[in-house]
Amino acid sequence: MAEKRSHSQAFKARKRQKTAPTKAGKKAQGIPKRWKTVTADSLKWREVDMPDRLDDVEGFFGLEEIDDVQVVNNNGILQFKAAMAADSEVESEGNGGDSESEWNGFSEDAVGDTTPSVEQDSEAHSRREKETPKPSKEQSNRKKTKKEKKQNIKEKKTISRTREQPILPVNSFADLQDLHEDDIDIDLPAWESLSLSPYTLQALQKLKFTTPTPIQKLSIPSIVTGHDLIGKAATGSGKTLAFGIPIFEHLLSSSKNRSALTKLPGENDKEPDVSKLTNPLTALILAPTRELAHQITDHIQALIAASGATSPPTVVALTGGLSIQKQLRKLTQFGGADVVVATPGRLWEILSEKSGFTQWFRKARFLVIDEADRVLQEGHFKEVEEILDLLTRDAKEEVANEPEAYGTVTTVKATKVKDRQILVFSATFSKDLQKKLSGKQSWKNSNSGLLNDKDSLDYLLKKLPFREEHPQWVDVNPVDQMAENLREGIVECGNMEKDLYLYYLLLRYPLRTLVFTNSISTVRRLTNLFQNLELSVNGLHSNMIQKARLRSLERFASPSKTTSKTGKPQHQILISTDVAARGLDIKNVELVIHYHVPRTADTYVHRSGRTARSKNSGASIILCSPEEAMGIRQLIGKVHNDRGSKGGVIKSIFVDRSLVTTLKTRIELSQKIAGSTMAKESQRKEDDWLKAAAEDLGVDYESDEFVELVEKGRRGAQKRKEARSIGKDELAGLKARLKEELAKKVGKGSRLYLTSGLHNLAQRLVDGKEHDVFFGEEGGWGLGDL
């Protein structure tokens, strides 16, 4: 039965329909006089056998070959017109539109658009009809040449891809189905049971995602069938598409309700106009960081692009640090975006300052909260509670109170809050969350190690307007939070030696490495330190301007450079605060190093999860000082459900101490240079500030009295004074000495000779094949193997 066919079969069948001639196409009945507008769906397409060769196809691919059906341009909107003959093969569209008007071919006005398109073809066709006698059946059914077929396909493509044209087809997705001509054989048996549309399957095939990940397999059917859902799965396990695919599926299936995509000339230059929001928002996705919001946007856009949707739905990121006006213009063009990915700060800025947008956001069909434990964590985003409150207020009440706020959207069917699906995802949730949500267990009695401030999280989760009493709970891996192919290690060293040991690790394991610290000043210092040591290092923290943040990430993600001197690849290193801990999916990160011990267990999970993503392997190493040993023991116990405290989950890593000693001189020189550079830089900034302060106080900026006052108030003044006191010549001398040191080969005579063969060693760290790497050193701070 037709309904039982798989989607891929259905897809192939549809392609056969449009590439084959129809019986109707072979029984021309003379020139029709009256024409009626019909929908594509109402045309009686018939399945015909696929010819062996395209050359065997009589006539042309598609509508023009059905006699008595024309494709016309009616003021920029493509329409199908069917002849009103007694034995008509089409069904009436109903009462809408201009279906009853007589059609006499195109007027010049109707074809104002200069875009090369199928309507020009139709125009020529209609003129031919008026000017020349009707061709014989043989003539009209003559074989089209390959060249003609190609030309026509090209024209069809052109119209569907011309996003900037003034008016696009009303039902853009439906048109896409007909304009799609790529003959792709979908062969994705592992996705079959999820009943996805051919477009999604095509995208998955192009992206080479042959198998759904466990979170995708379990979540997608629930979401597609309308359930609220809380999804928990390890880092890098494909959670983005676990909600991205159902949203795209919804967009495809609801395409008939979409309003026209209209972008008027010059619209980009105008103020964003809320009255243009005629297209209802399908999904609002909240993410905790700007970078993650942009990444989710790119990820969903990539899915849409690979699907072959030639008038694709729009996905817009709303994040701080970039122009709000530009973002709002993107949001409002084409009648309003389909999917918005926002950080709470920027979204709240828009909702609170531009009240006209509130109603539109409130109609979102899906509300997704990615990294939910972080986004909803009390005190982390003060805006979230306000946003949720605003989005969940009774929609009807608002429409009554603020009719102007909804602009011209009165014709759009409102998605009431009760119709909204709530989807919540993270790699770290309390095991007891489901019980608490269902009211079976009080939050206070719970014993989850991974969430702080549990009472407030419970409060916020209860505020989420789940439309089901018990949202679906999908926990793919309830025992372990960590990625499957992750190797965890620990290096014990003194607090003041961390720079040295970090340098050792970076040299010994030349891999794409992400180093996490707990403070912005450490990111700045370490970036400077390792740049002096000629490593390819970039920094990332929240005090950087957004463009610099994105640039740093781009550089980190770029392919390894080959250094001209040695011919060896220079691996990219990123030193970051926890702004990069959540969600970022940077290809081929092989090693994560925790320079500072993470403050919470969930931070450890997420930081470490920047490597070993999808099916890749990776390693995570903590640098641990004696003061941190106790905290680490507890942390590992929580993360590994107390298996850590019994030993064996996190291994001590072998350190070649003699080699560490030889690196000492380099580090000390670089520390001095970095200290001096940074102190001078901060001196310049501080000077400007102090001059202004002295002026305010009415004292001389250079007076002893003022200098003394300032120095007293400074922490670490002595150290900074020393660093600043390094003169130009001394600094040049330090740099020259460092250069000499860097030219020397290090490690000769030690077990490890740093100038050779390290890449294999590093790879073995990641793969866990290097026995010497993880061997559980005795002594140290008594950690042994955790």
Ligand X SMILES: Nc1ncnc2c1ncn2[C@@H]1O[C@H](COP(=O)(O)OP(=O)(O)OP(=O)(O)O)[C@@H](O)[C@H]1O
Q: Is 301 among the residues that bind ligand X (CB under 6 A)?
A: no
Question: Residue 605: CB partners within 8 Å, gap ≥ 6?
Answer: 235, 427, 428, 450, 481, 482, 639
Query: In a 3-state reduction of DSSP, which class is residue 21?
Result: coil
How many helices (H) and strands (E) are present in the chain, helices listed first?
27, 19
Query: In a 3-state reduction of DSSP, which class is residue 176?
Result: helix
Work out which of 169, 198, 212, 313 binds ligand X, going by CB under 6 A.
Answer: 212
Residue range at the interface with ligand X (CB under 6 A); choices 37-45, 331-339, 414-422, 608-616: 608-616
Q: From the CB of 122, what's the least distance to ligand X, in Å?
A: 42
| Total of chain residues touching ligand X, rule CB under 6 A | 19
Q: Pick the closer one to ligand X by CB: 240 or 358.
A: 240
Q: From the CB of 296, what's the least distance to ligand X, in Å?
A: 8
Residue range at the interface with ligand X (CB under 6 A); choices 6-14, 69-77, 206-214, 766-774: 206-214
Q: Which two tokens stand for residue 628?
A: 């941190």
Work out which of 253, 438, 558, 614 binds ligand X, going by CB under 6 A.
Answer: 614
Per-residue HEC secondary structure of 256-274 comes to HHCCCCECCCCHHHCCCCH
Q: Pick the closer one to ligand X by CB: 239 or 498.
A: 239
Burial class (CB within 10 angstroms; exposed 0-12, middle 13-18, buried 19+) of 81: buried
Q: How many residues does the chain have?
A: 786
Q: From the CB of 453, what's the least distance to ligand X, in Å?
A: 21
Q: From the CB of 616, what's the least distance to ligand X, in Å?
A: 9
CA–CA gap between residue 326 and residue 343 (Å, rounded): 16
Q: From the CB of 242, what's the least distance to ligand X, in Å?
A: 7
- Between the two ends of the chain, the Cα-to-Cα distance in Å is 59
Q: From the CB of 238, what's the least distance to ligand X, in Å?
A: 3
Residue pair 577/606 in contact by the 8 Å Cβ criterion:
no
- What's at 32, amino acid-wise? P
585-604 residues in contact with ligand X (CB under 6 A) are: 585
Binding pattern for the stretch 223-262 against ligand X, x by CB under 6 A and - elsewhere = ----------x-xxxxxxx---------------------
Residue range at the interface with ligand X (CB under 6 A); choices 122-130, 211-219, 408-416, 457-465: 211-219
Q: From the CB of 528, what's the least distance to ligand X, in Å?
A: 29
Q: From the CB of 287, what's the least distance to ligand X, in Å?
A: 9
Q: Pick the closer one to ligand X by CB: 224 or 761.
A: 224
Q: From the CB of 137, what's the least distance to ligand X, in Å?
A: 51
Q: From the CB of 426, what's the least distance to ligand X, in Å?
A: 7
Q: Pick the closer one to ligand X by CB: 88 or 213.
A: 213
Q: Pick the closer one to ligand X by CB: 29 or 211.
A: 211
Q: From the CB of 407, what's the least distance to ligand X, in Å?
A: 35
Q: From the CB of 305, what's the least distance to ligand X, in Å?
A: 13
Q: Pick the closer one to ligand X by CB: 209 or 406.
A: 209
Q: Pick the closer one to ligand X by CB: 8 or 79.
A: 8
Q: How many CA atoms lie within 13 A of 376 on its CB side?
A: 25
Q: Is 611 among the residues that bind ligand X (CB under 6 A)?
A: no
Q: Pick the closer one to ligand X by CB: 417 or 581.
A: 581
Per-residue HEC secondary structure of 663-678 comes to HHHHHHHHHHHHHHHH
Angle, CA of 547, 549 and 552, to the nearest 5°: 110
Spatial CA neighbour of 166 closest among 340, 409, 333, 408:
333
394-423 residues in contact with ligand X (CB under 6 A) are: none
Give kind and range of the element (H or E) at residue 551. helix 546-557
Q: From the CB of 147, what's the least distance to ligand X, in Å?
A: 40
Q: From the CB of 299, what's the least distance to ligand X, in Å?
A: 7
421-440 residues in contact with ligand X (CB under 6 A) are: 427
Q: Pick the closer one to ligand X by CB: 478 or 782.
A: 478
Q: From the CB of 693, what's the least distance to ligand X, in Å?
A: 44
Work out which of 11, 35, 45, 209 binds ligand X, going by CB under 6 A.
Answer: 209
- Tracing tokens 């530009």 back to the chain, one arrives at 326
Q: Is 609 among the residues that bind ligand X (CB under 6 A)?
A: yes
Q: Pick the closer one to ligand X by CB: 483 or 526.
A: 483
Q: How far is C-alpha 14 from the chain's CA centre?
A: 32
Residue range at the interface with ligand X (CB under 6 A); choices 156-164, 494-502, 606-614, 699-707: 606-614
In this structure, the strands spanning 77-83 and 35-38 are antiparallel
Residue pair 225/603 in contact by the 8 Å Cβ criterion:
no
Residue pair 786/636 in contact by the 8 Å Cβ criterion:
yes
Q: Is 213 among the residues that bind ligand X (CB under 6 A)?
A: yes
Q: Pick the closer one to ligand X by CB: 178 or 291.
A: 291
Question: Residue 631: CB partners within 8 Å, gap ≥ 6?
Answer: 597
Q: From the CB of 737, what's the least distance to ligand X, in Å?
A: 43
Q: Pick the closer one to ligand X by CB: 90 or 427.
A: 427
Q: Is 169 among the residues that bind ligand X (CB under 6 A)?
A: no
Q: From the CB of 488, what's the least distance to ligand X, in Å?
A: 16
- Tracing tokens 């392997």 back to the chain, one arrives at 617
653-682 residues in contact with ligand X (CB under 6 A) are: none
Work out which of 288, 489, 583, 675 binds ligand X, going by CB under 6 A.
Answer: 583
Q: Pick the closer one to ligand X by CB: 212 or 280.
A: 212
Residue pair 614/236 in contact by the 8 Å Cβ criterion:
yes
Spatial CA neighbour of 66 closest among 169, 184, 161, 178:
178
Q: What is the DSSP string of 425-475?
A: EES---TTHHHHHTTSS-GGG---SS-SSHHHHHHHHHHS--SSSS-EEEE
Q: Pick the closer one to ligand X by CB: 236 or 280.
A: 236
**In what side-by-side order are the strands of the sheet with 513-516?**
536-540, 572-576, 513-516, 591-594, 618-624, 486-492, 651-652
> Over the Cα atoms of the chain, what is R_g?
32
Residue pair 357/407 in contact by the 8 Å Cβ criterion:
no
Residue pair 596/517 in contact by the 8 Å Cβ criterion:
yes
Q: From the CB of 613, what's the least distance to ligand X, in Å?
A: 5
In this structure, the strands spanning 591-594 and 618-624 are parallel
Return phi, psi of residue 73, to 5°.
Answer: -105, 110
Residue range at the interface with ligand X (CB under 6 A); choices 208-216, 628-636, 683-691, 710-718: 208-216
Work out which of 508, 613, 666, 720 binds ligand X, going by CB under 6 A.
Answer: 613
- What's at 605, amino acid-wise? V
Q: How far is C-alpha 348 from the chain's CA centre?
A: 20
Identify the DSSP state of 546. Answer: H
Q: Pick the closer one to ligand X by CB: 91 or 480.
A: 480
In this structure, the strands spanning 283-286 and 339-342 are parallel
Q: Pick the closer one to ligand X by CB: 254 or 477.
A: 477
Q: Which two tokens stand for residue 398?
A: 């608002």
Q: Pick the closer one to ligand X by CB: 118 or 286.
A: 286
Applying CB under 6 A, the residues found at the interface with ligand X are 209, 211-213, 216, 233, 235-241, 427, 583, 585, 609, 613-614
